[in-house]
Amino acid sequence: MKTIERYIVRRTVYAFTLTIAAMTGVVWATQALRQLDLVTSKGQTIVQFIGITILALPFLIVIVAPFALMIALILVLNALSGDSELIVIDASGGSRFLVLRPVMIFSTVVMLLTASMSLYFAPMGLAQLRTEITRVRADLVANIVKPGRFITVEDGLTFHIRNRSGKGTLDGLLLHDTRDAETAFTYQADTGLIVEAADRTLLVMQNGTIQRRPKQEGDISIVRFQSYAFDLSNLIPEAGEPVFKASERTTTNLLSPGRNDAYALKNPEKLTTELHERFSQPLYCIAFGLIVFAYLGKARTTRQSRGLAVVAAIASCVLLRTAGFGVTAISGGSTALVGLLYAVPVSASALALISAFREQRRQPKWLTNLQLAVQERIDALVDRLHNRRTGGAA
């Protein structure tokens, strides 16, 4: 690459990195709040919560990357114009391709990044997220043992704990068992811990007592213990095999689902739409890059306001992506309509490329006068504010 091309790419990489980090963080935070019940009601620690929700990051990057690219290119091209660098390139005889080439190189790199996320990392992360959520919902401690509440696990067996520490220790444990036909047992312990040993799930209690009370007649007997193991194996809820949706399946599985796959047999159109959407989503990176270049890649004088061009570029990109989401919603796996998933970004790219290199028609005189009048008003307002600040400082 030439020096100017490396310069443009370097500035775009910096702006893109900051933009995608900020946008992904905001979107992740909003999505993570939907899984907050993992901490509040499922008893998971904040570390486990972050580890589980972060699995959705590759999927979020697929959605956010084109918009981060758009913002980065707008910032860079607008700065190049504001510093009169585009005007210098144009005055020195450089063609628009000199600016378009680094824009396309960077857009292609972002497209490849998005494609890797869309085809491999995003479905892998979502599948792992589904597995973890299924595991949490089948967790004995998360669903049965809740601090401050009396939980009836089954007829005749009630749990109560005062608190659960971040390490999983159960403090202030009370277990009342009346399942035996003749005797009722009440277990009290300072602490307890659920452990897995020899294919069994045991509640190991420390420093407590066992009260045995006959249901008919007899005296209550109390036995103190330092350590006692209570078998919970028959109380563990069955963790069913998670059912993966279309977005949580690997690309290979979408191409060739199993013959006995109930979800695939029931929803073949969803699998078809998801497959083509994964291949078409990265194309929006190229479309966004060309759209921004078409609006902001031309050298303009300082008298020509670029605000309208920036707004038009943003609006065009948003409308294009909205059209893509709309096509996804109406396609429904139809072979006739699924081609629109590719047609929308490809046609937008072609129109943007044609618009960028076509001969610019001379705009009407009234529009030129309007732009100059608006710019003069803005300049006058800026000068007035500057003079007011200078006078105040004096």
- Which of 28-37, 115-124, 194-203, 374-383 shows the lowest mean pLDDT across its residues? 374-383
Residue 359 confidence (pLDDT): 47
**Above 50 in pLDDT, residue 360?**
no
One-character DSSP codes across 204-257:
EEEEEEEEEEESSS---EEEEEEEEEEE-GGGPPP-PPP---GGGS-HHHHHS-
Cα 166 from Cα 46, distance rounded (Å): 9
- What single-letter DSSP state applies at residue 120? I
**Above 50 in pLDDT, residue 361?**
no
C-alpha separations of 354 from 90, 290, 347 in Å: 19, 10, 11
Q: Are 65 and 110 in contact (CB under 8 A)?
A: yes
Residue 64 confidence (pLDDT): 94
Cα 271 from Cα 277, distance rounded (Å): 10
CA 49, 51, 54, 55 dihedral sign is negative
C-alpha separations of 323 from 11, 64, 244 in Å: 30, 16, 27
Cα 316 from Cα 323, distance rounded (Å): 10
Q: Are 55 and 132 in contact (CB under 8 A)?
A: yes
Residue 389 confidence (pLDDT): 61
Residue 226 confidence (pLDDT): 93
* C-alpha Rg value of the chain to the nearest Å: 32
Q: Are 338 and 273 in contact (CB under 8 A)?
A: yes
Residue 394 confidence (pLDDT): 45
As a whole number, the mean pLDDT across the chain is 80
Residue 289 confidence (pLDDT): 94
C-alpha separations of 273 from 57, 225, 269 in Å: 22, 62, 6
Type of residue at 385: L
C-alpha separations of 114 from 16, 53, 59 in Å: 13, 20, 9
| Residue pLDDT, tens place only, 298-333 | 766 554 557 788 888 999 999 999 999 888 888 766
Residue 273 confidence (pLDDT): 86
Residues 6+ apart with CB under 8 A from 12: 72, 73, 76, 102, 103, 106
| Residue pLDDT, tens place only, 137-185 | 555 555 556 777 787 777 888 888 888 776 668 888 888 888 888 889 9
Residue 107 confidence (pLDDT): 95
